[in-house]
Amino acid sequence: MADGAIPPRPTGPSERIDAIDVLRGLALLGVVAINVVTIFRVSIFQQFLFPKPPLSFSSLDSAIEAILTLAVELKALALFSLLFGAGLAIQFERLAQNERRASLLVRRLAVLLAFGLIHLCLIWNGDILTEYALAGFIVLPFLFGPRWLLAVAALASLGLYLAMQAFPPPGLWPGTAALAQDVMDANRIYATGGFLEVLAFRLREIPLFAYLHAYIFPRTIGLFLLGAFAWRTGILRHQPRDRLFSIAAACIGLGAALILGHAGRLIAGGRIDALAEPLGTIVLALGYGAAIIGIAIAERGKRLLGWAAPVGRMAFTNYLAQSVILGWIFYGYGLGLFGKLGVTSALAIGLTVYFVQIPFSAWWLGRYRYGPVEWLWRTLMYGAAQPMRLSSTPKPASA
């Protein structure tokens, strides 16, 4: 290390912004709710068949499914994308005085990519970590540029995403026959197959999931850039609550109007209608984020939402744990409940897993500095074992 260089080290518990951890913890709640209903419970490709097979077993199922679709689906994932971009900008800022900043951030994303590929291939092919790592590699060079470049690149990426919704590129979606065959195989293998059979089918499904990622990849990049821009402008740090609530009200109102208008066919058909739902999802997610941060920075808000902060600090560990637990519950090598439950029952299982993680996360972080996967990620990034127990004296990572 050059003389005078600041040794790299991870963010300590006392340096974290609780409101961001709260937002991440609540976003994880939305993610598990959607994942358990749309991917673990049934094949994700079932919803793209025509005529659409029934996804609900009762009127309550239908009502809950509608609420999740309108208020949660893709919005929680959008929040995660914004937060990941902000997190990347925070790391970039913290390493500003270190000559190895670029290589450390590249290593951080490379480790995430390795985790993602393991998760994708061996645990659950609904993985989002691999996409996040690849998008991070694209976003990283923009962090070296000025703030305006982040804003322009974010708008360009989100514009490309919206254009792809209105004018789908030919050949970027599999045919109905391929989807129908995959759904039929999934209903048999995921419900009754052993671990190796499920593993083989999971690997076979990856090309189909790649189609889904291709459609959403520009949005992920755009939201990463937007999250980094928000951090650079101080929106996540210095905005007064009244301004945050004004932003939240405007975004939630506009986003809800676009989504409900699309759902109710209140907007004229054609290309405009095709843009309403994806644009509304992005705007509504921004509103959720501003509202939650506005609440979480107040003293009463901290008492109201503080329980979500430990879950958010251990979001990586909790996300992977959810995949392992729900995989065992729904796939044939465990309880084999795939395709057998309605929306309400499956959601209850997902929420139970999440609410068990709340006290566990608080208990763990009362004793350790990081979640176990977070600790491993930091250790591999910095190339030195990080202090784990709260009683241990923090030491800077060697360069």
Token pair belonging to 230: 């928000």
**What is the reported pLDDT for 398?**
34
Measure Cα distances from 5 to 27, 140, 399 in Å. 37, 22, 10
pLDDT average, residue stretch 15-35: 91
- Indicate if the pLDDT at residue 29 is higher than 60: yes
Instruction: State how far Cα 7 lies from the chain centre.
Output: 30
Average pLDDT along the chain: 88
What are the pLDDT digits (tens) for 163-203? 998 888 877 788 888 899 999 999 999 999 999 999 999 99
Q: Do the Cβ atoms of 233 and 175 come closer than 8 Å?
A: no
% residues pLDDT > 70 (the chain): 89
Gap between the Cα atoms of 31 and 72, Å rounded: 8
pTM of the model: 0.90
Total residue count of the chain as it appears in this document: 399
Angle at 326 between CA 324 and CA 332, to 5 degrees: 95
Q: Are 125 and 205 in contact (CB under 8 A)?
A: yes
Give residue-wise pLDDT tens across range 31-79: 999 999 999 999 999 988 876 666 667 889 989 998 998 889 889 999 9
d(CA 186, CA 183): 5
User: pLDDT tens, 206-224?
Assistant: 999 999 999 999 999 999 9
3-class DSSP string for the chain: CCCCCCCCCCCCHHHCCHHHHHHHHHHHHHHHHHHHHHHHCCCHHHHHCCCCCCCCCCHHHHHHHHHHHHHCCCHHHHHHHHHHHHHHHHHHHHCCCCCCHHHHHHHHHHHHHHHHHHHHHHHCCCCCHHHHHHHHHHHHHHHHCCHHHHHHHHHHHHHHHHHHHHCCCCCCCCCHHHHHHHHHHHHHHHHHCCHHHHHHHHHHHHHHHHHHHHHHHHHHHHHHHHHHHHHHHCCCCCCCHHHHHHHHHHHHHHHHHHHHHHHCCCCCCCHHHHHHHHHHHHHHHHHHHHHHHHHHCCHHHHHHHCCHHHHHHCHHHHHHHHHHHHHHHHCCCCCCCCCCCCHHHHHHHHHHHHHHHHHHHHHHHCCECCCHHHHHHHHHHHCCCCCCECCCCCCCCCC
pLDDT score, position 270:
47
Which amino acid appears at position 358 of this protein? I
**Per-residue pLDDT tens for 104-130?**
999 999 999 999 999 999 999 999 999
The better pLDDT of the pair 356, 263 is held by 356
Residue 293 has pLDDT above 50, yes or no: yes
What is the pLDDT at residue 397?
41
Q: What is the mean pLDDT of residues 369-395?
A: 86
In the predicted model, is pLDDT for residue 1 greater than 50? no
Whole-number pLDDT of residue 167: 85
Side chain identity, residue 87: G
pLDDT given for residue 53 in this prediction: 64
| Residue 268 reports pLDDT greater than 50 | no
pLDDT at 326 over 60: yes
Give the pLDDT score at 236.
Answer: 81
How many Å apart are CA 52 and CA 37, to the nearest integer? Answer: 16
> C-alpha dihedral over 110, 112, 113, 119, to 10 degrees?
150
Query: For position 14, what pLDDT does the model report?
Result: 44
For 191-200, b/e burial (b = at least 16 CB within 10 A) is: bebeeebbbe
Q: Mean pLDDT, to the nearest integer, of 278-293?
A: 92
- What pLDDT digit, counting tens, does each position of 134-167 carry? 999 999 999 999 999 999 999 999 999 999 988 8
Prior bond to 53 cis, omega within 30?
A: no
Confidence band, pLDDT 50/70/90 cuts, at residue 262: low
